[in-house]
Homo-oligomer: A and B are copies of this chain.
């Protein structure tokens, strides 16, 4: 059978989602946990990669298994073999052709900036600390200009191998709550480092290094160097995958 699982993880200790040599990935830890309860060498397919240090509140994955463990008991069984920073929150049987990556219609990410004079020990694992005051109104204006279907080549890490750099951002909201400035972005797909580069570009707008209207020319340029820098991974969290 084909099993879909919902995952939460703190990415701090991992080299990212994808299995790789010489580094511990979330995929590898999950596959090992599943193997230790089912005896099967499964291939766990994630909805997409998350980079080293990136968190997930709602990552989705699937794998094929012949296990006799009842589906409602499966999360408990897998969790018993997982470290505390990775948790399976739900499991269900899905059609054989369900594929966590190919079937994903959209994803929601958040990027969190801690914007205060001094860093926060209680938030440092889950946010990017930035001490200078931000013009959130300008950031919201810039965010609005990113919404829609565009060629986001300027917002992709250089030399990423993709067929098309056109994506559709359905929603890009900027929230301010006390010392927190948070972006919530929903798109039908994301280029490599796209959310972190968008966050860096909006930050540039927030400190008046760029104007909100510059977004138009940045998109048009298809030139990575025109956009802002890639903000660090700990502020990024995969919230939800939509099927």
Q: Is the CB of B119 within 8 A of A87?
A: yes
Closest to A7 in B: B121
Q: List 5 A-B contacts (CB under 8 A).
A: A8-B120, A8-B121, A86-B121, A87-B119, A87-B120
Interface presence of A189 (CB below 8 A): no
Interface presence of A84 (CB below 8 A): yes
Interface presence of A75 (CB below 8 A): yes
Q: Interface 1/0s, chain A 1-24, versus B by CB < 8 A? A: 000000011100000000000000
Q: Is the CB of B89 within 8 A of A122?
A: no
Closest 8 CB pairs of A and B: A10-B121, A85-B121, A89-B118, A87-B118, A8-B121, A9-B121, A87-B121, A10-B122
Total chain A interface residues with beta-carbon distance under 8 A? 23
Q: Is the CB of B122 within 8 A of A8?
A: yes
Q: Is the CB of B10 within 8 A of A84?
A: no
List of B residues within 8 angstroms of A122 by Cβ:
8, 10, 55, 57, 126, 237
Complex-state Cα separation, A77 to B126, whole angstroms: 25
- Tell which of B75, B84, B121 touches A84, judged by Cβ atoms closer than 8 Å: B121
